[in-house]
Amino acid sequence: MTTIDATARPAPGWTRVLPGGSYAGRSRMLLLRSATAARRTWPAIVSGFAEPVFYLLAMGSGLGSLVGELPGPDGRPISYAAFIAPGLLAASAMNGAVFDATFNVFFKLKYNRLYDAMLATPLGPVDIALGEIGWALLRGGLYATGFLSVMAVAGLITSPWALLALPAALLVAFAFAAIGMAATSFMRSWQDFDLVTLAVLPMFLFATTFYPLGVYPRPLQILVECLPLFHAVELMRGLTTGAVHLGMLGHLAYFVVMAAVGVVVAARRLEALLLR
């Protein structure tokens, strides 16, 4: 049975939700390892940035010429491209984080057995969870940064509040990465990844990325408002258009809770899977 270094201790404040000896404060080592490994696979990582740009060109410039203007978050009319761009920004952060925290983690967990070897070192389950989530966060942040730059060049940013869109995107990426890794710990085979697509694709299509919430009847509006991507889109749309209000703190709190739950579940599941 694999054991953890007896000197490792949970971080302050986590003692009631995480087992003793699960955190050694060395999660940065996972980041260094992932960065080193990414030197050979950087074209695959960078290629994920192109998808939202293609959507913006096709939907914003193509379909947008037929749609015209839509009401923005503050009621002022904005172009269709400016309306969907923040949604695509949120989706960029989500996709980069989710797919790294699911497919890559599953391979390392079930086939490469990388985490078994790591737990023979002073690293604990929380170190592994935070390290992998952190790398997925960086990937999601990379996509968000690239797409935000495209928005700036295309003139789709109309407010200096957009400077806060990147930190918000990083929080979104962290939350999705945490939940993605927690979900991956329950997967038994590659076929289970159909469930990831089943969750991510409908959110991308229906969480107000391409059209306003008002197009739905009220029962469906309530359902959409529960989706995490909806809160991400609302954040990005408000910041990039300057429609900032106190209600946005609720969206931020949503992702803080989502990230905390994901980290705790992922760490506990790693301990159950690797230390049994």
Is 236 a residue whose pLDDT tops 50?
yes
Domain extents in the chain:
28-274
Where is pLDDT greater, at 138 or 5?
Answer: 138
Where is pLDDT greater, at 139 or 245?
Answer: 245
- pTM reported for the whole predicted model: 0.83
Confidence grade of residue 6 (pLDDT, cut at 50, 70, 90): very low
Burial 226-247 (b: 16+ CB within 10 A, else e): ebbbbbbbbbbbbbbbbbeeee
Is 147 a residue whose pLDDT tops 90?
no
> What are 153-176's pLDDT values in tens digits?
888 888 888 889 889 999 998 999
> What are 20-37's pLDDT values in tens digits?
556 656 777 777 877 777
Confidence grade of residue 261 (pLDDT, cut at 50, 70, 90): very high
The C-alpha atoms of residue 162 and residue 148 are separated, in whole angstroms, by 9
> N- to C-terminal Cα distance for the chain?
7
Q: What share of the chain in percent tops pLDDT 70?
A: 86
Q: Which two tokens mark 100?
A: 């790294």
Question: CB count, 10 Å around CB of 135?
Answer: 25
Average pLDDT, the chain: 80
> What are 34-47's pLDDT values in tens digits?
777 777 766 666 66
> What are 7-23's pLDDT values in tens digits?
444 444 544 555 555 66
